[in-house]
Amino acid sequence: MLMRLLLTRMNHFTQIMSRTPVEQRLRVLAVAHFILAMLTGTISALAMISALAFSASMSRLLGGTETSAFSFYLYFGAGTSMAGLALSGITAAAGWNLLTRRWGAFGLALELATLCLFPFGTILATVTLVVLVRRPVQDYLGMASQPANSQ
């Protein structure tokens, strides 16, 4: 049993090492997208909790009256948190497209939306787009344009 476990791990390691450089780059970019999505989602959820808690506590401190400033904070905080959660999902979907090698106009739209996550999403999306325009990556993903007279 121990030998089988060790051989399975070694087989997995050799499969990882036998990947082409293009596959390795796409996998690294996909993992970076997933990490960014988790961070963005966590921060957005904490911001949502903060907006709700701050508005509720300030409303209680002021005797139950809601002022426009606290309502604004509640709606603005909740709105930006929801936008952050949506961008988190978009970033995870872009990573999934890279991981499963499904790339096209939808993947490009997801990557362009990831640009909105300043600064880390902007850097990651720019690097991803630069990698995706390279010829070996386009050949690997099946995106390379064929000559007009090839059949």
Neighbours of 41 (CB within 10 A): 18
Nearest to 89 by CA among 26, 45, 133, 23: 45
Q: Does the structure show a pLDDT above 60 at 14?
A: no
pLDDT value of position 18? 56
- Helix runs in 18-150, H state only: 21-61, 68-99, 105-114, 120-132, 135-141
CB count in 10 Å sphere of residue 30? 20
Residue 67 identity (one-letter amino acid) = T
For the stretch 22-78, pLDDT in tens is 888 999 999 999 999 999 999 999 999 988 888 778 777 777 666 666 777 778 888
The model's pLDDT over 83-138, given as tens digits with 9 standing for 90+, comes to 999 999 999 999 999 888 887 788 889 999 999 988 999 999 999 999 998 988 88
pLDDT reported for residue 141: 82
Distance CA 87, CA 15 (A): 33
Nearest to 75 by CA among 52, 58, 59, 56: 52
Can you give the pLDDT at residue 53?
84
Please give the average per-residue pLDDT across 133-149, as a whole number.
76
So where are the chain's domains?
Answer: 25-141
